[in-house]
Structure 1
Amino acid sequence: MMLAAPLFTDTRLEEIHRRLLAYYGRPPERDLWDPLKQFIYSMLSSRTKTEISLEVIGHLEERFGSWENLRDASIPEIEDAIRVVTFPEPKAINLKTALEEITRRCGSLSLEFLKGYRTDKIRSWLERFDGVGVKTSAAVVNFSTLRRRAMCVDSHHLRVTQRLGFVGRSADARETERRLMEMAPVKWAPEMLDEHHSLIKIHGQQICAKNHPRCGACPLLDLCPAGAGEERASG
């Protein structure tokens, strides 16, 4: 017996992706890092601008020479090396603790063994560390050489998704990712999910800003309940 096809297929995410791609162009191709480097970067990049985070990860590699040396450095030394990121004090503690714990659990400072795990197991394993939430675990599995299906929801993605009405105003990153992955076509490979994340991030930075969204210039205006309300208010 054949099952009936669904009565409704939500294609809004595909349409949003198509419009943003036409508006902004294709984002630069990501330089894939190994899982450990991506883990370190993602732990430090929370609430910090991308250019600063990239500068810091490069500085750590140059200053310490290896992640083992970073692990073995004192907390004040790590804090000094990452002082330009947001909240360097707790991040230094969480980073050193995580690197020590990875070494203790795995026998060496490497996350290459995660390649043999299911995606959900990788993420639950990573999220046991202090300072590691759903955004960081998604970044590690999707942005690194692991290249698994996940949608990294940062503050821009959360804001845009809420304004589009896909989730409620109180939704967190985990709930938002779950909803977006329900909407994302099964055919979207990890690379496409990464590209979608990048397009939404660019859109949040350039058009759908936190305090002063430029709704009149938005290519998604007719799809956005919040933007339509802004336009009526300003008109």
Structure 2
Amino acid sequence: MNLTLFEDGRLQEIHDRLLVAYGPPPLRVPWPPLRQFVYSMLSSRTKTETSHEVLYALERHFKSWERVRDSSEDEVLRIIAPATFAETKAPRLQKALRRIARQNGGKLNLDFLHGQPIDRIRKWLETFEGVGPKTSASVVNFSTIRGSALVIDSHHQRIAERLHLVPKNTPTAETEKKLMSLAPSTWGPEMLDDHHSLIKLHGQRACTKLQWQPHCPPCPLLTICPTGKEVTSSRDVRETIRR
């Protein structure tokens, strides 16, 4: 199937191929919106395993988000130190928690977001310092809000560019908008979540940031990937010349 044909089926084709290659993603158990918000703030530029460890360490040490909010910045920084840019994330996290409580009648949770229009939720979330489209999409899609949003992390961005779904250096928000326009109308929040998980896994295992070319020949997306076909074509030419 040529990706320049059947515009409406592009993401479905990609999804189906990755599903065959990797199998169904693990079932996600959605978190409360505030927990997802905190995790997403901590996880920026940080490996998934480390991000989870930092989140669990925060919860074990402080026991409540109120104590995270009210403790010294140095204490919070000490706990989240393994996260990338922890010195920036610690004050931003505490500032965000203080603002949430202030705007929510003293209650430190994001449960009031349930039932709100998705666009309004995301616009509000992105007014917090350090929060962009990736974090707002994560809160909307991964948490118990379970709204329609597609999380575009660095893996998803890279693969979308290599598949020529978006031009290079497209802003995250524009990438999400483009991919959402290609997603089948039947895809609900859970399907969008699964699609993100498959793309992320493919980016971690095969379509990596560095030294990805050796993974192109067996790649399940090769025949619909302009970048991969260019790489393998150049390799075939070199092999022919050597012979």
Alignment-derived partner of residue 231 in structure 2 = 230
Alignment-derived partner of residue 84 in structure 2 = 86
Alignment-derived partner of residue 150 in structure 1 = 149
User: What is the rounded CA distance, in whole Å, between the counterparts of 1:116 and 1:100 in structure 2?
Assistant: 23
Q: 1:133 to 1:15 in 2, by over 3 A?
A: same
Aligned residues of 2:8 and 2:184 also touching (Cα < 8 A): no
User: What is the rounded CA distance, in whole Å, between the counterparts of 2:181 and 2:86 in structure 1?
Assistant: 35
Residue 99 (structure 2) pairs with residue 101 (structure 1): yes
- Cα RMSD after superposing both structures: 1.1
Aligned residues of 1:127 and 1:133 also touching (Cα < 8 A): yes
**How far does the alpha carbon of each residue in 1:87-133 deviate from its partner, in whole angstroms, 9 at most, with x for none?**
00010011010000111111211100001310000000100000100
Q: 1:24 to 1:177 in 2, by over 3 A?
A: same
Alignment-derived partner of residue 32 in structure 1 = 30
The residue identity in structure 1 corresponding to 2:198 is: L
Residue 219 (structure 2) pairs with residue 218 (structure 1): yes
Alignment-derived partner of residue 209 in structure 1 = 208
SS at 1:151 equivalent: coil
Aligned residues of 1:35 and 1:145 also touching (Cα < 8 A): yes
User: What is the rounded CA distance, in whole Å, between the counterparts of 1:234 and 1:58 in structure 2?
Assistant: 46
Aligned residues of 1:152 and 1:177 also touching (Cα < 8 A): yes
Alignment-derived partner of residue 121 in structure 1 = 120
SS at 1:10 equivalent: helix
SS at 2:210 equivalent: coil
User: What is the rounded CA distance, in whole Å, between the counterparts of 2:161 and 2:14 in structure 1?
Assistant: 14
User: What is the rounded CA distance, in whole Å, between the counterparts of 1:174 and 1:122 in structure 2?
Assistant: 15
The residue identity in structure 2 corresponding to 1:131 is: G
The residue identity in structure 1 corresponding to 2:13 is: E
* TM-score of the superposed pair, with normalisation by structure 1: 0.95
Question: Identity rate of aligned residues, in percent?
Answer: 54
The residue identity in structure 2 corresponding to 1:147 is: R
Gaps of 5+ in 1: 1-6
User: Greater shift after overlay, 133-142 or 208-217?
Assistant: 208-217
The residue identity in structure 2 corresponding to 1:200 is: I
The residue identity in structure 2 corresponding to 1:203 is: H
Alignment-derived partner of residue 137 in structure 1 = 136
* TM-score of the superposed pair, with normalisation by structure 2: 0.92
**How far does the alpha carbon of each residue in 1:39-75 deviate from its partner, in whole angstroms, 9 at most, with x for none?**
0000000111111111111111110000111111111
Alignment-derived partner of residue 160 in structure 1 = 159
Alignment-derived partner of residue 241 in structure 2 = none
Gaps of 5+ in 2: 237-243
Aligned residues of 2:141 and 2:147 also touching (Cα < 8 A): yes
Aligned residues of 1:94 and 1:131 also touching (Cα < 8 A): yes
User: Greater shift after overlay, 194-203 or 45-54?
Assistant: 45-54
Matches within 5 A, 1:37-52: 37-52=35-50
Aligned residues of 2:160 and 2:166 also touching (Cα < 8 A): yes
Aligned residues of 1:207 and 1:217 also touching (Cα < 8 A): no
Shift of residue 172 of structure 1? 1.6
